[in-house]
Structure formats: C-alpha cells, structure tokens
A and B are shown apart, each in its own frame.
Chain A
Amino acid sequence: MNWKTFYAMLLRDGHVARRNLVPTLVQNLLQPLLLTFVFGRVLTSSGMMQGAYKNVLLPGIIAISMTLSGIWAVAMPLITEFQFSKEIEDRLLAPMATHWLAVEKIIAGMVQSIVSGVVVIPAAWLMMGSGANLSFARPLEFALIGLLVALFAGAGGLTLGCAISQQHIGLMFSLIIAPMIMFGCAYYPWSALKSFPGMQYAVLVNPIVYACEGLRGTLVPQVPHIPIYAIIGALAGFDCLFLIVGLRRFNQKAVT
C-alpha cells in the first residue's frame, strides 16, 4: 500500500472541498437550519407543538445533515468524474491499487459528514432557543455511533455514486433519498410509529432509522428509542454491506 499516494489524494479532496467551502456549507447547513427554525422554533413557540419536540427533532436533524453531506461529498464528484470526461483517471493511474482510491473517497466523505454534524449541533441548538436538553453522558457510544453514521454516509455515497448516472441524479434524490429521510425517523421517534405496526417494522430496512435513533439514544436518552446495542449492530451491518457493494461497483467501474 502506497500511503504517500493515498495521503496526496486526501489532500486533493480537502483542497477542493476548501475551495468550495461556502457553497458546500450552504448546501449542507441551510436546509437543516431552516427545518430547525420552522419545526423547532416557530411551531413550538406558537404552542402548536410541545417544547419537548425539540429533543426529538435535534438528533434527527444532525443525523440527516451527516448522512446527506457525506453521501453528497462522495457520490456527486464520483458521478461527474466517471462520466464521459473520465476525470478520475489521473488518480486511477496513480501508483496505488485502485480500490484504495474508493477507500480514500469514503474517508473524505466521512470527514465532511463529521464536520457537518459538528457544525449543525451548536447551530441548530442555538436556533431552537432554549429547551433542547442534550446529554453528553455517553460520550463513547455517541462517538461510536457518530463514526458509524459517517461511514454509512461515505460508503453509501460510494455505492450510489457508482450506481447512478448523471441524468438520474434528480431521480436518485426524489426516489431514494427523500423517502429514506421521510421514513427515517428523523422528525419523529421510531416508537411514534407503533400505531402503524406494519410500517414500524418495514422502516427497519432503512439505515437512516438507525442513524437518527442512534443519535437520539445517545444525545437525548430520555426520549424512547431503539436499544443502543441493536442500533450499533444494525449500523455496523449496513456499513459492511455498503462497503462491500460500493467497493465492488467501484472496481467494476474503474476498469473496462
């Protein structure tokens, strides 16, 4: 393994991300903050929703920002770079086994996902005003779940980026990402689905459920959530699945 090459590619992705810092920040932060403002501030202050809803909402917002920014950071450049121009070829020709380039992309995506989570936590908390009672009593579990969510975002981005062509990006969003978010327990806890028993179990195939419930379980443990160890197991399983599928697809795409 050629670590110099690997590190140079990480530097390259970091450089490009820094160059696009403002648009990337706007893209990753604006929507969650607007959602926070409407649901966490307007609806709760007006009394249409209880103040405790803030505790349910905040972890969901963090999970969605982390997932989307990671997926976006990996999938979008991959889709472009594998297109007609094959921009990725200069890196495929670098002296390193090609699957390490996919690993590098995942790590770059994880970094963006984590940065996004770290920025959203205080921003959303401030925007909600008082009331969200975050607990950092379980730092190790929180860190582990954060990492698993970031890895899910990076590996999921790799899988999507290698599976979807440029003209289907809009479709990917409305057909895959949007339903995953809506059925991902981001804006309600999983336990709220108990009046829809079929759906409650059907949504368990959606990895975003575990991302949201996991952050909820560690940041606001007072809200009912899926048991933490089940969440860790499920997230680890999805991470492995997306890693295997994503790497395989990348290798197929990298050579003809």
Chain B
Amino acid sequence: MGIGIRIEDLRKIYDTPPPSALRGAGGFSFTPQRSAAPKEKKKKFEVVALAGISLEIRPGEVFGLLGPNGAGKTTTIQILTTRTRPTAGRAFVGDHDVWQQQVEAKKLIGVVPQRPNLDFALTAREVLLFHGAYFGQSSKERARRAQELLEKFKLTDRADHMVRTFSGGMMQRMLIARAMMHDPEVLFLDEPSAGLDPQTRLLLWDIIRDYNRQGKTIVLTTHYMDEADTLCDRIAIIDHGKIIASGTPSELKASIPGGYLLRLRFDRAPDGLLAQLKTLPGVSEVHSTDHIAADVYADRGGPLISAIVNAAQGSGAELHDVHISEPSLETLFLHHTGRSLRD
C-alpha cells in the first residue's frame, strides 16, 4: 500500500514570531518592528509563511521541497506533522486531516526535524526504547528494533551514552533512527543532510532509498539540487510561501534554457579566446573575472568540451581544469523567479 499526502490551499500567517525566534530562545532574539510613535496603535506582527499552496504527494514516492531559507518549507512540514496550526486550508496524511485527526495522523508519520530535539535526559538506546514505547511497541519488539537501528546507523559503541554528549553528525543519525523506530508509513525529513560530512550523507541517502523501497512515502526539504536530483521522484520549488514549479527533476531541469555552467581554467585566456567561446553552439553567456578563468553558461555540458579544447588550442592557450555544473537549484530558481537564491 503506502500513504499519500494532499495539501489544499494551505496558508499560514504567523501573528507572533515563529517558534525559532521566540523570545528567550537561547541563540538569538527577534523583536518585531513596531511603530515608534507611542500614540499610534502598535503595528501588528505578521509574517506570511505560506501563501496558499496545494500539493499531492503520491503513496510510495520520494518528494522533495526545494527552496531558499524562509521559503515556507519548514512551515509546510510543521503543518503536515501537526506541530503548526494552519491559518487556512487543509492537509491530509492518508485519509486523515492532520489538524482534525492529529492522533491518527501522528501514528502514520515519522519526523526528522531541522534541529536536534533529542530527549537530552536519556541515552541513545533509551531515546529509541521510549520512542517505541510511546508508539505502543512491546518491550521485546522495541529492544530488537532499537538494536537494529543502532547498528544500521553505526551508533552501537555509543548506545549507552547520554545523547547530549553526541556530536552534530551523531545527533542527526539518532534523529533519523528515532523517526524510523516505529516504522512510520510517511517519513518527513527537514534538511536531513545539512551539516553532515559527505560519507554520512551517502549513508543517509542509502538509508532513505532503502526505506522508500519498503513502500514508504518520503518527504524531504533541501537546499541542495544534487540531493533532490539523486533522491526525489518529484520536486516542488517553493519561494515566498508559494509553489513556483513542480515536476520530476528531469522535467524541471529541461525547463531551464542554458542551465549548464562550465567553469574553465586556462594557463592564459586572451580576449580572442573568450570571444570565440561565445560563438560556440548552445553558449548563452561567457564571464571572465581574470585572465585565466572563464564561466560559460550553455544549454549543454560535456558535448562542448572538445570545441572548447579546439578553441583554446587555436588561441595558443592550454585548458587546465574543467568543472561542469548541471542545472542547479540556483539556475532553476533564477529561471523561475528572476532572482538569485541569495538575493
């Protein structure tokens, strides 16, 4: 089987600072702008996090939400996991309205949040055992499952240490293990690979794929196009609380003209060479910041290399290094919004 997700015109307007910025939250504080004139009515705090999004996530697929910081990805996940009350619209996990039938919805989902929210009063094994107990697993079942997960996530040697002593990467693995402990039908991962080293990231990808092969639905948010590309069956790009594009990774990439970026380094790059590069088939732009490097934007990657090498030889230059970037979130985003991700 498998459980799908449906979101209908979901809106969220925060009238108090969002949770991460609550006053008294350790790291930083956030004060809403208020009008200076004392007689004026205090300006109401309002942040539109979601401006009406609709989505259908199919049972058993890996679905990615891509977008810059503050786009509304986390708010979407928070609403789908019952942690945030939607201002308007509805969201369903399977047949259950996540706000009206929270308990039923919570039985179906596992959540990996953006920040470690492990129970710091417990050891790694206890975190898993108690989590299993909350979901009604028998003591035998939870002991077996906890051991399996600790092995899978390479945490056995620290299993009986307090989780508050763990490194960032270990906490991240613990969060995922905990989310899988009760074998949920839908797994939500909010920026799962942020801050992970490349090896752990690969381990994470394997685990996600493996879990998906069991027929589970996976919803993840990410900044990284390569992650979305390798893992996701379908993607929605979200910005300013709206979905601006959705489809399979290849559909989305095909929607950008000139989406490839070739970063070239020569021993020297005379102006004549740059001019020649511009005339190559499929090249839309060439930028050079100094006299040895050039960024070529084109609608193809590899097929241009031989022409570039020929052009370089023709100008008496030697090609030292080539890096081909496939269409990225950056270029996709730029194409759909006219803005850079960093704007």
Query: What is the interface of chain A, defined by CB distance below 8 A to chain B?
Result: 2, 4-5, 8-9, 11-12, 15-16, 19, 77, 83-98, 165-168, 255-256
Q: Which of B109, B120, B126 contacts A87 (CB 8 A)?
A: B120
Give a binary string over B205-239; 1 marks a CB under 8 Å from any A CB, 0 the rest: 00000000000000000000000000000000000
Given contact pairs A12-B122, A168-B24, enumerate 9 new A-B contacts (beta carbons under 8 Å).
A5-B136, A87-B118, A89-B113, A90-B131, A93-B81, A93-B109, A94-B135, A165-B23, A256-B14
Q: Which of B102, B116, B133, B134 contacts A85 (CB 8 A)?
A: B116
Query: By the criterion CB–CB under 8 Å, are A166 and B83 in contact?
Result: no
A96-B102 Cα distance, complex, nearest whole Å? 8
A8-B25 Cα distance, complex, nearest whole Å? 29
Q: Mark out the residues of chain B between 293 and 315 whose CB falls within 8 Å of any chain A CB in the assembled complex.
A: none
A92-B178 Cα distance, complex, nearest whole Å? 14
- Is B266's beta carbon under 8 Å from chain A? no
Q: Which residues of B contact A168 (CB under 8 A)?
A: 24
Query: By the criterion CB–CB under 8 Å, are A19 and B121 in contact?
Result: yes
Query: By the criterion CB–CB under 8 Å, are A89 and B83 in contact?
Result: yes
Query: By the criterion CB–CB under 8 Å, are A84 and B27 in contact?
Result: yes
- Is B248's beta carbon under 8 Å from chain A? no
A246-B23 Cα distance, complex, nearest whole Å? 20
Query: By the criterion CB–CB under 8 Å, are B24 and A165 in contact?
Result: yes
Query: By the criterion CB–CB under 8 Å, are A91 and B134 in contact?
Result: yes
Q: Which residues of B contact A94 (CB under 8 A)?
A: 106, 131, 134-135
Main secondary structure of the interface of A (DSSP, over half): helix
Q: Which residues of A contact B134 (CB under 8 A)?
A: 5, 8-9, 90-91, 94-96
Query: By the criterion CB–CB under 8 Å, are A90 and B117 in contact?
Result: yes
- Is B44's beta carbon under 8 Å from chain A? no
Query: By the criterion CB–CB under 8 Å, are A86 and B115 in contact?
Result: yes
Q: Mark out the residues of chain B between 96 and 151 whose CB falls within 8 Å of any chain A CB in the assembled complex.
A: 102-103, 106-107, 109, 111, 113, 115-122, 126-127, 130-131, 133-136
Q: Which residues of B contact A88 (CB under 8 A)?
A: 117
Which of A77, A92, A93, A168 has the most chain B CB atoms closer than 10 A to its own CB? A93
Query: By the criterion CB–CB under 8 Å, are A93 and B19 in contact?
Result: no
- Is B200's beta carbon under 8 Å from chain A? no
Q: Which of A12, A19, A87, A97 contacts B130 (CB 8 A)?
A: A12
Indicate whether A8 sits within 8 Å of B113 (C-beta atoms), given known contacts A90-B119, A90-B178, A97-B102.
no
- Is B284's beta carbon under 8 Å from chain A? no
Q: How many residues of B contact A (CB 8 A)?
A: 39
A93-B81 Cα distance, complex, nearest whole Å? 8
Q: Which of A4, A19, A86 contacts B117 (CB 8 A)?
A: A86
A5-B102 Cα distance, complex, nearest whole Å? 15
Query: By the criterion CB–CB under 8 Å, are B117 and A85 in contact?
Result: yes
Query: By the criterion CB–CB under 8 Å, are B83 and A92 in contact?
Result: yes
Q: Which residues of B contact A87 (CB under 8 A)?
A: 117-120
Which of A5, A8, A90 has the most chain B CB atoms closer than 10 A to its own CB? A90
Query: By the criterion CB–CB under 8 Å, are B84 and A255 in contact?
Result: yes
Q: Which residues of B contact A84 (CB under 8 A)?
A: 20, 25-27, 115
Which of A12, A16, A96, A256 has the most chain B CB atoms closer than 10 A to its own CB? A256
Q: Mark out the residues of chain B between 19 and 61 whose CB falls within 8 Å of any chain A CB in the assembled complex.
A: 19-20, 23-27
Query: By the criterion CB–CB under 8 Å, are A89 and B117 in contact?
Result: yes
Q: Which residues of B contact A86 (CB under 8 A)?
A: 19, 113, 115, 117
Closest to B131 in A: A90
User: Which 10 A-B pairs give the minimum distances between C-beta atoms?
Assistant: A165-B24, A8-B133, A94-B134, A84-B26, A84-B25, A4-B136, A16-B121, A89-B117, A95-B107, A86-B117
Q: Mark out the residues of chain B between 237 and 293 whose CB falls within 8 Å of any chain A CB in the assembled complex.
A: none
A256-B107 Cα distance, complex, nearest whole Å? 20
- Is B94's beta carbon under 8 Å from chain A? no
Query: By the criterion CB–CB under 8 Å, are A256 and B85 in contact?
Result: yes
Q: Which residues of A contact B102 (CB under 8 A)?
A: 97-98
A-B contact pairs, 25 of them (CB 8 A): A2-B103, A4-B133, A5-B133, A12-B122, A15-B126, A77-B121, A86-B117, A88-B117, A90-B117, A90-B134, A91-B134, A92-B83, A93-B81, A93-B109, A94-B106, A95-B106, A95-B107, A96-B103, A97-B102, A166-B24, A255-B83, A255-B84, A256-B19, A256-B84, A256-B85
- Is B169's beta carbon under 8 Å from chain A? no
Measured CB to CB, the closest approach of chain B to A131, in angstroms, equals 42
Q: Which residues of B contact A165 (CB under 8 A)?
A: 23-24
A97-B101 Cα distance, complex, nearest whole Å? 10
